[in-house]
Amino acid sequence: MERILLQLQYNGANFQGFQIQNEGRTVQYELERILKRMHKQFVRIHPSSRTDKGVHARMQYVHFDTPLSIPESKWQHAFNSALPDDIYITQVTKISEHFHSRYDCIGKAYRYKVYVAEHRNVMHSGQITHIKTKLDVKTMNSAAQHFLGTHDFTSFCSAKTEIENKERTLYRFEVTETAEGYDFYVIGSGFLYNMVRIMVQYLIDVGTGQKDGDSIPAIIQAQDRTKAGKTAPAEGLYLEKIYLDTETLKQDIPQGTAIIFKNQKHKMNGEQL
């Protein structure tokens, strides 16, 4: 048996999410459909992240095990020639049987995109979130720093979140102005259901003066979903990057930041805390 790692991108606008659902298109179904055809039996894939309905991915990983001995380039061709236009395999790698896409993922980066206009631009539909008001970037960036570090993010995740441990670590969170609006960029050890979208909506409300950024620590402490406000739409959210090794992650976060592994903290120089 060989273990195959796929790196892929997808436009999530017309998917019900990554994970197979009772109804509607999903990314998982499209990939497993091709594997079943090739193997004449069901083959399970294991993703690094399970994105929600309407969320896009610029980088996602999945792995699967196969008895077939096929060159990596042939795997890529086999998938891309059969996949729909909104999914594309960017890289195929044969990996160790001990590697796992989910458990060996040490961090993720998300980007949330908004554009500012008096009227909605239909060409951005499903791709970028529309807002009508300009935002205060400096105030939002100041507020975003309150999210950094390790916290219980119960207040900033969906009430439907089934995971008991809601503690996550954020390494970097910044808002930048773009030609059309704003990008919200966040890197963390992992994210809970709707967590990025709830944090982004709170920052947007800070940027319009509707909410106070300095209230974030108290809201986190409250562990009460009702305190954080609404959830931003899915369409502006992109899974930007998956981190599978510390060297890549440390290049994208502030120097000296402690990287959180499962139940351990490590400094960049390898010194354990």
The Cα–Cα gap between 197 and 214 comes to 19
CB contact at 8 A, 20 and 3 = no
Catalytic position from the list 52, 104, 183, 205: 52
Residue with tokens 């699967």: 64
Q: Is 115 annotated as a binding residue?
A: no
3-class secondary-structure state, position 248: helix
CB contact at 8 A, 143 and 228 = no
The per-residue b/e assignment along 176-201, b for 16 or more CB within 10 angstroms, e otherwise, is eeeeebbbbbbbbbbbbbbbbbbbbb
CB contact at 8 A, 49 and 2 = no
CB contact at 8 A, 121 and 130 = yes
Beta bridge partners of 91: 7
The Cα–Cα gap between 253 and 107 comes to 11
Q: Is 52 a catalytic residue?
A: yes
* Known binding-site positions for substrate: 110
Active site residues: 52
Q: What are the binding residues?
A: 110
